[in-house]
Structure 1
Amino acid sequence: MNNKRVYQLPLQTLSLILGFAAWVLLSSMISTIKVDLHLLPGQIAWITAIPVLSGSLLRIPAGYLTNRYGARIIFMTGFLILIIPMLWLTAARHFEELLGIGLLLGVGGSMFSVGVTSLPKYYQKDRMGFVNGIYGLGNLGSALTTFGLPLLAASLGWRNAPWIYMGVMLLMALIVFKTGDREESRVNQPLMKQIKELSRQSKLWVLSLFYFITFGSFVAFTVFLPNFLVESFALTKPEAGIYTACFIGLATLIRPVGGLIADKLNPYMLLSLVFAGIGVSSLVLSLSPGFGVYTAATMSIALFAGVGNGAVFKLVPLYFVREAGVANGIISAIGGLGGFFPPLCLGLIKGFTGNYMLGFILMSGYAWICLVIALLYVKYFRKPARESSAAVVAFQTR
């Protein structure tokens, strides 16, 4: 093992932090941008949703390309691409331009697939829950931007703030180029062949179903909360940013704990508890409670979603080895789509009904369905870690 492999986990975690920091650039400043550019509510919904959509769909090619070319090349390329929408944002004046910027910012969200594909090559399977949990701390990038960018925009102006981000992206591209592992093992297998093989495996779709709500709820609330808190509870923009950052921070910091517990216990039992918690909390939110109860239910979802994210990605490298890049991409893409649809649906539901009750009831119902499936897997797959141990070891010693 060369020396560079020793610090791939901290390097890739830092890369994800900065990728996610860029991913939420628009949603973090939308309450200010909408005033200057006179944006309509429907336009705001699309501007905040498009980065989530593109970041989700790009995870499939990102995972595949990581297996083929290595994390070093993909991370470095991603940071250089992210400079383009940031530069564009400094001069943007129209709704259509913000949509284009959002599409490109999705590259930051796609970076999740890079690490979850690369890191299993460096660690044994019985540590992957904790390792992927640590890597998942990259979600803190969303919290840093959600909390810090409104303050930066208030001080420098929202058109000037991206210049600081551009400098950081360029610096990180240089760091990855210099310190990334040039000798990472590669898998060169046709993309469509991998997708065809994976599509026959029920576990891929079960884990995708689970990640749709665990990661999807995390992304959806990250996008939904800043504007909602200002409009519904009369919080100031910085206060809404701090609140959302607390949600992100809790979900992110608890993720390694979820992975660690999943390393020790049956992951499906842990996921059963997660889905029960999300189901109850969503029902509470459907009642449109006061600020105190709303906060308790929201932070409960952050807690359960974070634990669930750690547990799901404990299971992924156990079941998928040679197709790990594409499998990670598909599962994480579907999880990202779980963050794309809910904010749009909630907006439509409120437009028709005047409140968000039905949206949160549907979210609760989805969680109960996942609970039933997870309990079935507890019964029939009591020791999932044994299913692919030999394959993982063989892959790591190639």
Structure 2
Amino acid sequence: MIKKVQLPLQTSNLVVGFMVWVLISSLLPFMREDITIAPEKVAIVTAIPVVLGSVLRIPLGYYANIYGARIIFFLSFILLLFPVFYISSASTLTDLIIGGTFLGIGGAVFSVGVTSLPKYYPKEKHGLVNGIYGMGNIGTAISTFAAPVVASQFGWSLTVKLYLILLLAFAALNFFFGDRKEKKVKSPIMMQIKSVYKNEKLWLFSLFYFITFGSFVAFTIFLPSFLVDFFTLDKVDAGMRTAGFIVVATFIRPVGGWLADKFQPLFLLMGVFAGLTVAAIILAFSPAIGLYTVGSMLIALSAGIGNGVIFKLVPFYFDKQAGIANGIVSMMGGLGGFFPPLLLSTIFTITGSYSIGFMAFSQVALVSLVLVLWLYYMDRLTMSKEVFDSTGQGIIVTNADGTILSVNPAFTILTGYEEEEVIGKNPNVLSAGRQDKSFYEKMWGKISTEGLWQGEIWNKRKNGEEYLQLLSISAIKDQSDEVTRYVGTFSDITNL
């Protein structure tokens, strides 16, 4: 029973964590009525919670593997009580920055669930499960929509205090209903970091999530103030529009995870970054509110699908280091929400326009599209090499002139020759001398006309021992029908 409630419980935990994480940005228009905040400082105040919320994702993901999600969620909600109470009495910009820094714990809990929940489900469901968990992003929409409504009736300070009740309730829920018997993975954190940090896929996934989740967070904290200042909307209307953006990005996330379970995830990422590129270009032209809404919704759709797809890929490639890999990737995603608001604010201060910032974002998304294409083809090459290296048959590859270009490990086992001993030589170094000239003329004649020859041939090992091979030779041709390679595969059939 306890195991069955982990998905809804941990998803609800994420909702609460994200509600707290965006507490300041949701209520900032009301806070600015009582606290003097210069326009150029607004982006800093809203972005500050993202910093700790990003950096803490590494240790929280790691310790979720060590102690289990129950303990980490419980402690996180208890710790969040202090900054929330402090912010409820804030009277200066410094108070908001100090309290906001520690609100980051609410965003950091994301890496707990993506580390814990896959333990309860088979791999073919990891994309969907992490996508459902990622719907906890809706917490940002709830705060963005509900907090201004409550604050307009009761004031922002009392609204903040209501979050204390919510945190206490969920701390209790985790204490009583969290899984005490969750499978633990204990290994030193530095050992896990060393095992993943040289893997280029980790950093590519980090970049991809930096952009997809970063754009989600950036728009979440940027839109409420932007819509009020740029389009002169009232605060509740701006909150509702931002909530709509968050709802779309959140509910499309499990769809992205489900699609990644069914189809090639890298193909889906290509579509994601193509969508982000187009959307950012639309926004770069500073359109009217209608077209701006279209561009924002396209970002919501693309970012939501991308978020779901990436957390299908991470546990697939980093099964044994899921905690630390999830922490690093999700940290980079959180940081992706920190820099864009600052960048947009700085560009606006200098130029009076957001266009350059959005155009820069479109170029980053376009570069990511190119990197996904590169990763896809590198994956295919890696798979081919793994097949080449792991097959039990000896493989020898030559150029069109018959010079050896490559051999596989099975070649060394069967012949005794190391790769460096035969590269650049002719395969006749293996000949036992038992076949006459006419044998080879017939063999090459058939390869020339049919592109393939298969038969038995006597060769010798490095130690001089003769053995009988079952040999196949294939001619590899280019688009102009010219032979570029010959590939020979063979096995020892002497005993047969």
TM-score, length of structure 1 as denominator length: 0.95
Cross-structure match for 1:15: 13
d(CA) in 1 for partners of 2:315, 2:117: 10
d(CA) in 1 for partners of 2:340, 2:74: 32
The aligned amino acid for 2:100 is G
Aligned counterpart in structure 2 of residue 91 of structure 1, from 89, 92, 103: 89
Change (3 A) 1:384 1:334: farther
SS in 1 for 2:337: helix
Superposed displacement of residue 100, structure 1? 1.0
Aligned counterpart in structure 2 of residue 142 of structure 1, from 135, 140, 143: 140
1:56, 1:332 within 8 Å by CA — same for their partners in 2? Answer: yes
The aligned amino acid for 1:110 is A
Q: Deviations over 1:138-186 (max 9, x none)?
A: 0000000000000111111111112211001101100110000001111
Aligned counterpart in structure 1 of residue 164 of structure 2, from 159, 163, 166: 166
Cross-structure match for 2:272: 274
Superposed displacement of residue 71, structure 1? 0.1
Residue correspondence of structure 1 range 169-184 to structure 2 within 5 A:
169-184=167-182
The aligned amino acid for 1:211 is Y
Superposed displacement of residue 120, structure 1? 1.1
SS in 1 for 2:286: coil
The aligned amino acid for 1:156 is F
SS in 1 for 2:338: helix
d(CA) in 2 for partners of 1:66, 1:209: 23
Superposed displacement of residue 381, structure 1? 2.7
d(CA) in 1 for partners of 2:361, 2:330: 19
Aligned counterpart in structure 2 of residue 366 of structure 1, from 352, 359, 364: 364
Aligned counterpart in structure 2 of residue 214 of structure 1, from 209, 212, 215: 212
Q: Which has the higher contact order (CA 8 A, sep 6+)?
A: 1
Identical aligned pairs, as a percentage?
51
The number of equivalent residue pairs is 386
Superposed displacement of residue 92, structure 1? 1.1
SS in 2 for 1:146: helix
Cross-structure match for 2:313: 315
The aligned amino acid for 1:345 is L
Cross-structure match for 1:24: 22
2:18, 2:139 within 8 Å by CA — same for their partners in 1? Answer: yes
1:266, 1:382 within 8 Å by CA — same for their partners in 2? Answer: no
2:19, 2:140 within 8 Å by CA — same for their partners in 1? Answer: yes
Q: Deviations over 1:34-56 (max 9, x none)?
A: 12111111322211011011101
SS in 2 for 1:159: helix
Cross-structure match for 2:302: 304
Cross-structure match for 1:122: 120
Cross-structure match for 2:203: 205
Superposed displacement of residue 292, structure 1? 0.4
Residue correspondence of structure 1 range 373-388 to structure 2 within 5 A:
373-381=371-379
The aligned amino acid for 2:192 is Q
The aligned amino acid for 2:316 is L
Which 10-residue stretch deviates more, 131-140 or 191-200? 191-200
1:318, 1:384 within 8 Å by CA — same for their partners in 2? Answer: no
Q: Deviations over 1:326-366 (max 9, x none)?
A: 11010000011111000000000111111011111110011
d(CA) in 2 for partners of 1:216, 1:383: 30
Superposed displacement of residue 124, structure 1? 0.8
2:141, 2:242 within 8 Å by CA — same for their partners in 1? Answer: yes
d(CA) in 2 for partners of 1:212, 1:384: 25
Cross-structure match for 1:48: 46
d(CA) in 1 for partners of 2:220, 2:24: 12
Aligned counterpart in structure 1 of residue 58 of structure 2, from 46, 56, 60: 60
Cross-structure match for 2:340: 342
Q: Which runs of 5+ in 2 are unaligned?
A: 384-496
d(CA) in 1 for partners of 2:381, 2:199: 18
Cross-structure match for 2:329: 331
TM-score, length of structure 2 as denominator length: 0.76
d(CA) in 2 for partners of 1:138, 1:75: 14
SS in 2 for 1:330: helix
Structure number having the greater helix percentage: 1
d(CA) in 1 for partners of 2:102, 2:80: 7
Q: Which runs of 5+ in 1 are unaligned?
A: 386-398
The aligned amino acid for 1:70 is G
Q: Deviations over 1:91-132 (max 9, x none)?
A: 111111111111111000001000000011111111011000
Superposed displacement of residue 19, structure 1? 0.5
Superposed displacement of residue 382, structure 1? 5.5
Change (3 A) 1:358 1:190: same
Structure number having the greater strand percentage: 2
Superposed displacement of residue 384, structure 1? 10
d(CA) in 2 for partners of 1:323, 1:53: 24
CA-based RMSD of the aligned residues comes to 1.7
d(CA) in 2 for partners of 1:61, 1:99: 23
2:36, 2:93 within 8 Å by CA — same for their partners in 1? Answer: no
d(CA) in 2 for partners of 1:90, 1:358: 37
d(CA) in 2 for partners of 1:382, 1:112: 31
Change (3 A) 1:349 1:141: same
The aligned amino acid for 1:236 is D
